[in-house]
A and B are shown apart, each in its own frame.
Chain A
């Protein structure tokens, strides 16, 4: 009998432990804390962020910003869904602005036009206007620029010297330079060094980089006024055929599938030029194998690059904390934070004042590599922040891949992609 009672009570304890654990977990967070979810990669960058947040917390006192890293950004949507249904969503979320569309249209985010207009202490024009375009969904601002970047070309300085070439400015020059940089010393038809690397795969990286070439060729991607895509046709075909031409002549190599951003081939000296962003600058400095320079993407009809970066948005359930959230956002967008953050991470400042500040200008003086990216901001365009963007990008990526794999001619692939995208818009 005693044994039975013991067993039963043991089982009850077990159940109680599980239940209490759930209750304790769900009660996390309080009035005075602000949960800030971000997916910033790299230990050093995380340390810098924590330091800047600690400084802010010390200054303000009444509210505590708690930063939590959510890990890989492409796994975030599932976490958000779970958090929303379990009512454990954070107050502030850091993500690519194109990703906020679905959240905004589901009524989960606070629209911020009111708070921006009513705060006379905030100068909206200090932030690059392209970043506000990316923050706008269905005509309303739902997120605020946190950091930004653009695309340019990394080049291997030693290879440029050896080939006797200088930085190319146009598509034609770029093509010639790529040809001169390609080396096949044993003439087996497989070069040891390629001039350029074309991103392969159907993921966003391929789409993001290809859009630059589309714009350079004089094309348009999307018109928010008519809600239409228009990348098919002359300019798009020219842009895609430009890549295919480099590949056909074996002056360019494919990147690893779905990993156009990887620097393995560039750092191992297999490739002389790659398209990439400013965020690797610390890692590039720390490696001593290759002397890396950067130059603006070459122009065809016009110059263009694609602006990226991350924004922060506020969840609607945190509306009561709006004054505190807005104060933190102003700190983040302000000169002090932006200069420190940009200098230590390689991200570009979102604020013009920060970009023009003495400290940052001095940093650019010492790091001409980054200056190219800051200069590129003036020719930068943005992707539309509509909920359909993910799907649009996936469809276009699929057809770019088909063209790169020669399953379809460039023009036909783009026509098909445009038709398919038009159906979902």
Chain B
């Protein structure tokens, strides 16, 4: 049996060819659905275009200047920041609390873990519709329960002061389970031996253990959760669409809803693209800052 001797280079080349071939479909999909649209949005931001017409009018930076001079845009930007501030820390803490609670519990562990994870799997629009019923002023279950304690009905979604809070509550409910799973994975990767060392060194009390061992070793999970929830929060749209349509009096109008409304309701594709670019820059900046604060990329 004779075997042709191949050079190392040949093998390297041929296996990388196969790898490239396998990557090709994924790359094609990503270029068509992610890379191309991203550049197209950047491009469209310089035009006045209704999304339908064959002709577009080049307007330079007009979309961007218009946006920065409109008071509406700043209040929408603030709403997005407020929404993030209301949802991210709460969802982070709740996710961590759930993970710690279910980490070593034996009773009903899997049942409870699944129960808290279910909201993540449910479609946001569907969940939004359910929460609209729960929050209903006249016949919602939340006001029903409150009335048992003689509390007057609260207009959860119809009041401009409470609507943002109500939408945030739903969002926290929806995202905490996801954070819980990430934290659980992080917790399970901490070697038991560290806790045993604690006993030897005389460190007792759950709080001290958490502070000296669990929290520092959970850092990769924490950074991941913080970064992804901030991104998800800035990208939120479905719950606003399903629950408030940005109202009342614009109090829950956040960036992505604004983009949708301008682009698809008012046919202002150029302007909507400009807002999208601003959103992209904003999210990139915030993510960058988060990485910096958490001590570099190795954190994730």
Q: How big is chain A's contact interface, by range?
A: 35 or more
User: Are A15's CB and B25's CB within 8 A?
Assistant: yes
Question: What 0/1 readout, one digit per residue, does chain A (268-283) give for beta carbons within 8 Å of chain B?
Answer: 1010000000000000
B52 and A390 within 8 A (CB): no
A11 touches B22 (CB 8 A): yes
Known: A253-B138, A394-B266. A11 touches B158 (CB 8 A): no
**Among B78-86, B183-191, B226-234, B242-250, which stretch is in contact with chain A?**
B242-250
Q: Which of A284-292, A341-349, A373-381, A400-408 contacts B (4 or more CB under 8 A)?
A: A400-408
Contacts of A38 in B (CB 8 A): none
Question: Given contacts A7-B18, A11-B18, is CB(A268)–CB(B139) below 8 Å?
Answer: yes
Does B51 lie within 8 Å of A257, measured CB to CB? no
Q: Interface size for chain B: under 10, 10 to 19, 20 to 34, or 35 or more residues?
A: 35 or more
B300 interface hit (Cβ, 8 Å): no
A contact residues around B137 at 8 Å (CB): 254, 256
Task: For A101, give the chain B residue with the smallest CB separation.
Answer: B267
Contacts of A220 in B (CB 8 A): none
Q: Which of B31-58 contact A (CB under 8 A)?
A: 50-54
Asked if A78 and B247 sit within 8 Å, CB to CB, the answer is: no
Minimum distance in angstroms from B9 CB to a CB of chain A: 15
Given contacts A18-B28, A77-B264, contact A257 B248 (CB under 8 A): yes
Alpha-carbon distance A15/B138, docked complex (angstroms): 55
B220 at the interface (CB under 8 A from A): no
B152 sits at the interface (CB 8 A): yes
Given A4-B15, A256-B137, A256-B158, check contact A405 B21 (CB 8 Å).
no
- Interface-lining segment among A103-111, A176-184, A324-332, A364-372: A103-111
- Residue in chain A with minimal CB distance to B244: A257
B153 at the interface (CB under 8 A from A): yes
Q: Chain A nearest CB: distance from B167 CB in Å?
A: 12
A256 engages B136 (CB within 8 Å):
yes
C-alpha spacing A265/B163, complex, angstroms: 20
CA distance A108 to B28 in the complex (A): 31
A206 to chain B minimum Cβ distance, whole angstroms, is 10
Check A264–B139 contact: CB distance below 8 A. Answer: yes
B238-292: which have CB < 8 Å to A? 244-245, 247-250, 261, 263-267, 269
Does A190 lie within 8 Å of B152, measured CB to CB?
yes
Query: Is A106 touching B52 in the complex (CB atoms < 8 A)?
Result: yes
Which of the residues B18, B53, B132, B139 comes within 8 Å of A8, measured between beta carbons? B18
Min CB distance, B30 to chain A, in Å? 13
Contacting chain B: which of A164-172, A197-205, A238-246? A197-205
Q: In the complex, what residue of chain B is closest to A108 when comparing beta carbons?
A: B52
Q: Write out the residue numbers on chain B whose beta carbons fall within 8 Å of the beta carbon of A391.
A: 266
Closest to B52 in A: A106
Q: Identify the A interface with B (CB < 8 A).
A: 4, 7-8, 11-12, 14-15, 18, 74-75, 77-78, 80-81, 84, 102-103, 106-108, 190, 200-203, 253-254, 256-258, 264-265, 268, 270, 387, 390-391, 394, 398, 401-402, 405, 407
Known: A81-B264, A81-B269, A258-B247. 14 other contacts (CB 8 A): A4-B15, A7-B18, A12-B21, A15-B25, A77-B267, A107-B54, A190-B153, A201-B245, A256-B157, A257-B158, A264-B139, A390-B265, A398-B249, A401-B249
Query: What 8 A-B pairs are tightest by C-beta distance, nearest first?
Result: A11-B21, A106-B53, A106-B52, A81-B51, A7-B18, A78-B264, A258-B245, A77-B264
The contact sample of 28 A-B pairs, CB cut-off 8 A, is: A7-B18, A7-B21, A8-B18, A11-B24, A15-B28, A18-B28, A75-B264, A77-B265, A81-B51, A81-B52, A81-B264, A102-B52, A106-B50, A108-B52, A190-B152, A190-B153, A202-B247, A203-B245, A256-B157, A257-B244, A257-B245, A257-B247, A264-B136, A265-B139, A270-B139, A394-B261, A401-B249, A402-B249
